[in-house]
Amino acid sequence: MRVTITGATGLIGPAVIAELRRRGPVQITALSRDVERASAKLGGDVEVARWSALEEAAPADALAGRDAIVHLAGEPVAQRWSPSAKQAITDSRVIGTRNLVQGLAEAQPRPSVLVSSSAIGIYGARHEEPLDEEAALGYGFLAETCIAWEQEAGHASELGMRVVNMRTGVVLDARGGALAKMLPPFRMGIGGPVAGGGQYVSWIHLEDLAAMIVTSIEQDSWSGPINATAPEPVTNRELSHALGRVLHRPAVLPVPGFALGLLYGEMAEIVTTGQRVLPAKALVHGYQFRHPRLEEALQAALA
Ligand SMILES: NC(=O)c1ccc[n+]([C@@H]2O[C@H](COP(=O)([O-])OP(=O)(O)OC[C@H]3O[C@@H](n4cnc5c(N)ncnc54)[C@H](OP(=O)(O)O)[C@@H]3O)[C@@H](O)[C@H]2O)c1
């Protein structure tokens, strides 16, 4: 199998590469803004080509002849949302995906599938409503960014490609993302529920996300939006308590929402609001979660 991955140098990319290798022989090309740094991170077995996602079409020769493209590149969302940060978050996904599809239009032979990242933020802030892939989409900065991002990826279907939009939940891994940010206070015993703790956190273990991405490459029946979350979304309070138990630390100190607002501004809404997302399509397709239960998933993520 031959696969090209954008944004391969982040949290999710190396797990996708590991999962592809676990399933069989694979030739991987990574598209990165910084070839040297990417080669150092990904190792000599991964071919790296330069792509400046905002400025140019993706290089067609790094896409042609591949079986699949996995699109992960994007400006980190977990930063203070200044006007320029918001612009970078949106542009890297909307213009970046447009430039990827433009490269695909020029690629011959063209890959048959594009698996493009998206996020559960597409549903907006939704309290307790269970959300499968049929649910109405939301409002606000993140939802509107995700909607535009999926629309751009969708243009690859006009090129005859199958398109999968992985609506990714909160990825659990100790090396990065939300869990890495939660760990220091929880390890010190000063962690606890945020903003009342009633808001839902739809999480997924990194290994399951990687397995779902690779399964969606292999299985033609996977297409369109797919919720990449475990079947057991929990409240922020339940997540705090489970993390406390796994770390053998108290997890009772509440963190008021306004304190996060002061620290992070508008971005705090990622943790002060939530979505209760269900992986309906993955379950219908028979996907077997490796880490379906939160406490075990946390233990595995911290092992
Ligand atoms: N981690 C999560 O919990 C989570 C949840 C939902 C959705 N997602 C989405 O899944 C995708 C991959 O997630 P991740 O956590 O692996 O991401 P990440 O580590 O933050 O970044 C992935 C890669 O994107 C590239 N990148 C960063 N800023 C960019 C910019 N301004 N323009 C173009 N490329 C840029 C970088 O690659 P180079 O430096 O090599 O170019 C980076 O290594 C992202 O789009 C993210 O929004 C992640």
Span from the CA of 217 to the centroid of ligand 1 (angstroms): 20
Domain layout of the chain by residue ranges: 2-169+205-229
Cα distances (angstroms) measured from residue 3 to each of 13, 48, 49, 129 = 12, 12, 13, 37
Position 260 scores a pLDDT of 84
Q: Above 90 in pLDDT, residue 167?
A: yes
Pocket test for ligand 1, best of 39, 72, 92, 171 (most atoms within 8 A of CB): 72
Residue nearest atom 28 of ligand 1, based on CA coordinates = 75
pLDDT band at 252, cuts 50/70/90? confident
This prediction has a pTM of 0.98
Neighbours of 185 (CB within 10 A): 15
The candidate with the shortest Cα–Cα distance to 166, out of 140, 186, 143, 146, is: 146
Name the band, by pLDDT with cuts 50, 70 and 90, for residue 262: confident
Which residues form the pocket of ligand 1, taking CB atoms under 6 Å from any ligand atom?
Answer: 7, 9-13, 32-34, 38, 53, 72-77, 88, 92, 96, 117, 119, 168, 170-171, 177
91 Cβ partners below 8 Å, 6+ apart?
A: 54, 75
User: What CATH topology corresponds to 2-169+205-229?
Assistant: Rossmann fold (3.40.50)
Length of the chain: 303
Confidence (pLDDT) at 261: 86
Tokens of 62: 């790094």
Q: What does the pLDDT look like over 106-164, one tens digit per residue?
A: 999 999 999 999 999 999 999 999 999 999 999 999 999 999 999 999 999 999 999 99
Atom of ligand 1 nearest to the CA of 170: 3
Quick: pLDDT tens for 184-221.
Answer: 999 999 999 999 999 999 999 999 999 999 999 999 99
Question: At a CB cut-off of 8 Å and minimum separation 6, what does 46 contact?
Answer: 8, 17, 28, 29, 30, 38, 39
31, two tokens: 């598209």
The predicted-structure confidence for 60-110, as pLDDT tens digits, reads as follows: 999 999 999 999 999 999 999 999 999 999 999 999 999 999 999 999 999
